[in-house]
Structure 1
């Protein structure tokens, strides 16, 4: 069951990023796509928040809307003390330099005509950064992401592997010394062995620079390993928010189904989540009333169709949007 609410926000703490009641809708020929419906989250300095959900749940749309690419339909995005929604273009560019985006397909994210040494300082060039000490700075950036500057400096993206291209993308993001890094499925297109290397690189960068990260993925194990907290999304709504260390003790029926889809996460005695109902997946063009997960939920009742569940704290630090989960 999926709902909304802000009970999980931490207003008494210093926060690097606060998103409040974010709505993202896209007009299409057949109506309106309700990609994100009332998402709220916050991020502390040096913290990683994982956003977990199946493809099409709205997690990537949420990440881009936080970056104002494009701006959300409604809602508030605050980076530190700066409200991003409604900022003039010039001030938006300045604020956006403090928040960088790492995309899923690193090869497509890089200009194929430019060399690595030019790609990693693109952001700095936009802000009029001079050529002084450029080569030394480029070499430091490349070394910090595990690349040999002498080997890759003069190469173009097509001459690199997917993992090397993603390292270049991360170096380019770190060049502007951001406060927040939004990683949108950054390892899903890479081999498993390379995935571990990139995750380790991101973790080291977070510790070294005290970065705050939003890590978007559909892989339960990846999200659990890199995140401090996890926010589970379904069809544009938040289902559950909990510490990553407690993920295996999740209570929401949808989160339990995600865990059950991972063989090593299944209960050893064969017990686990009840299977989802075999129905056609609902469309974001016409999401179900009440709880959006109700059409697939094994616990759904009439109440779920008529009343949207609110996020509420059921355990310390664990928030669930479900009528049938007891505190």
Structure 2
């Protein structure tokens, strides 16, 4: 079930990214508001990968963009490296988030079609200025070539090409190289493989893991594919209609997950569905599969209209995240420890 609370946060752990009470709402006229993200809290430790998982429309991509202030959230706090980003504007915001980079969902449309690869990768240095002292005395061309090679591209082959002359996988590698140019501390990956062929997906995921280790990055990995999030993340946060349902370690996730929505997502992976999952999804307690509108989300627990465990309590009272075990928190009135 979807609820509020901060039981999953880890105060005192020197997080590189801290988000508290993040709210993103979009007015759509006639006094109506889309409640895209409603009170999201998360923290990200150095070297950690946090996976944000949920169906389309759950608010995960909106949350990622709001962390980057693209656009700024309706309310809430985003602290990166101890500095508050919300409320900043213009040059101050651009400087504050220079080491917080994002990889977009569609690699081709996120690249300027008129620019060559060499200029796309070096764009950050062109904006902020190039100081050879920051790159071990190397010149700009050498740095760009080394980054292209680091992401699996042959510099001499792609150097003067434009995005339309590259495959989707090559474009995504260019996006990763461009993001790495400013030596970020955090990468926010918004569905970075969803538009790629399955064979290319594996290559990009392996590249992201290698890049994380090589450059000492932390990552927020946003996706709707359960198996992808499980494999690349250290912790997984499950969202439903802008609310957190469950936060748990990715290792052993299929055994530890207890939230009805998380179990439903896991059941979508061939071979992961348990007998209890099958009964819950097709038995007499199963509810309608249609996602409620974010214009008018259900009262209490937002997942209750689809939950086989829902009772009157779920409609009257929003569940609060509570800790079941170390690193495992769930927002549900009815589930117990696994």
Distance 1:121 1:283 in 2: 42
Secondary structure at the counterpart of residue 92 of structure 2:
helix
Partner of 1:272: 277
For 1:12 and 1:200, locate their aligned partners in 2 and report how far apart those are by CA, in whole Å.
Answer: 31
Q: Give 1:281 deviation, angstroms.
A: 2.2
Q: Map 1:116-265 onto structure 2 (within 5 A).
A: 116-129=117-130, 133-248=139-254, 249-265=256-272
Cα shift at 1:173: 0.2
SS of the residue 2:142 aligns to:
helix
Retained in 1: the 8 A contact 2:123–2:178? yes
Q: Secondary structure at the match of 2:192?
A: coil
> What root-mean-square deviation, in Å, do the aligned CA atoms of Structure 1 and Structure 2 show?
1.3
Q: Distance in 2 between matches of 1:193 and 1:266?
A: 24
3-state DSSP of counterpart to 1:107 = coil
The 2-side partners of 1:128 and 1:231 are apart by: 37
Question: What is the SS of the residue equivalent to 1:205?
Answer: helix
Aligned partner of 1:306 among 306, 316, 322 = 316
SS at 1:124 equivalent:
helix
Q: Deviations over 1:99-120 (max 9, x none)?
A: 0000110000000000000000
User: Which residue does 2:72 correspond to in 1?
Assistant: 71
CA offsets, 1:230-255, max 9 Å, x none?
A: 00000000000000013102000000
1:20 and 2:20 equivalent? yes
Deviates more, 1:313-322 or 1:166-175: 313-322
Moved more, 119-128 or 296-305: 119-128
In structure 2, list runs of 5 or more residues that go unmatched.
133-137
Rounded to whole Å, the distance in 1 between the matches of 2:329 and 2:240 is 15
Q: How does 1:39-58 map to 2 (within 5 A)?
A: 39-58=40-59
Aligned to 1:288: 298
In the alignment, which of 328, 333, 336 is matched to residue 323 of structure 1? 333
Kindly state the Cα deviation for residue 96 of structure 1 after the two structures are TM-superposed: 1.2
Distance, in Å, in 2 between the alignment partners of 1:272 and 1:234 is 18
- Matching residue of 2:86: 85
After TM superposition, give the deviation of residue 129 of structure 1 in Å.
Answer: 2.6
Q: Give SS of 1:93's match.
A: helix
1:128, CA displacement in angstroms?
A: 2.6
Runs of 4+ aligned residues of structure 1 deviating over 4 Å after TM superposition are none
- What is the CA-CA distance between 1:204 and the residue it aligns to? 0.7
Q: Secondary structure at the match of 1:106?
A: coil
3-state DSSP of counterpart to 1:19: strand
Unaligned runs of 5+ in 1: none
Could you say which residue in structure 2 is the equivalent of 1:36? 37
For residues 101 and 291 of structure 2, what CA distance do their matches in structure 1 show? 33
Question: Following the alignment from structure 2 to structure 1, what is the Cα–Cα distance between the partners of residues 289 and 271?
Answer: 26
In the alignment, the residues of structure 2 paired with residue 316 and residue 111 of structure 1 have an alpha-carbon distance, to the nearest angstrom, of: 45
Give the corresponding residue for 1:3.
Answer: 3
Displacement after TM superposition at 1:292 (Å): 0.2
| Counterpart-to-counterpart distance in 1, 2:8 and 2:24 | 21
Aligned residues: 325
Question: Aligned partners of 1:135 and 1:128: how far apart in 2?
Answer: 14
3-state SS of 1:272 partner: helix
1:279 and 1:110 mapped to 2: Cα distance?
A: 37
The whole-number CA distance in structure 1 between the counterparts of 2:14 and 2:333 is 32
Whether the aligned pair in 1 keeps the contact of 2:3 and 2:244 (CA below 8 Å) is yes
CA distance in 1, matches of 2:212, 2:97: 18
Cα offset, 1:266, TM superposition: 1.6
Cα deviation 1:138-195 (Å, max 9, x = unaligned):
1101000000001101100000000000000000000000011000000000011100
